[in-house]
Amino acid sequence: MAHALLVIDVQNDFCPGGALAVPGGDAIVPMINAMMDDFDAVILTQDWHPAGHSSFASAHPGKEPFGMVTMPYGEQVLWPDHCVQGTHGAAFHPDLRTDGDLIIRKGYNPAIDSYSAFFENDHSTNTGLDGYLNSRGIGTVTVVGLATDFCVHFSAVDAAKAGFETRVILDACRGLDMDGSHASAIDSMKNAGVTLA
């Protein structure tokens, strides 16, 4: 079975100086670039929100970033406006290689946030990535990128649930770690059968 590299959300807004910066987010770029030639396929994801997305604190009068609200699909963290379609913040980090096989854009539905490369946060709206991987004969995925405790975590768990042998290379990820979210994500990935390397 073929082996794919899944590069999650290495975008300007998640790197130092961005609207939702992950500490050291840009430090992983050289490592990811160096890995790409070792895989049968490379898929990059891109957070791609319309302006006024429902996951933005600015869309909820009186709410602050990093607070919580209940959405029809469950609890939702409210984020600073980030990765708005077509902006500099939504662009890939300028040093990241983008010569992969596929780019999956997620979070473009204004009513649903999307952490996972496989499903939006309602856990039922499929991005089509599993079908693409299956059609390419891919049985194993390695996940890297930003942020360990959110989009990397949910992508890895969904990959394992979809039947792919899944590993996360932690050195090629960086996390936000909000209120213990990093430790919780590590436990969740282990419990889903994800290999942490």
* pLDDT on residue 136: 96
Q: Name the pairing type of β-strands 2-8 and 41-47.
A: parallel
Q: For this structure, is 161 an active site residue?
A: no
The active-site residue, picked from 106, 113, 149, 158, is 106
* pLDDT on residue 145: 98
* pLDDT on residue 1: 87
**Which stretches in the chain have pLDDT values below 50?**
none
Identify the CA nearest to 6 among candidates 142, 196, 120: 142
The active-site residue, picked from 9, 47, 81, 130, is 9
The active-site residue, picked from 15, 83, 151, 173, is 151
Q: For this structure, is 9 an active site residue?
A: yes
* Global confidence as pTM: 0.97
What whole-number distance in Å separates Cα of residue 9 and Cα of residue 93? 9
pLDDT tens by residue, 123-164: 999 999 999 999 999 999 999 999 999 999 999 999 999 999
Q: For this structure, is 106 an active site residue?
A: yes
What whole-number distance in Å separates Cα of residue 192 and Cα of residue 70? 25
Q: What is the DSSP letter of 194?
A: P
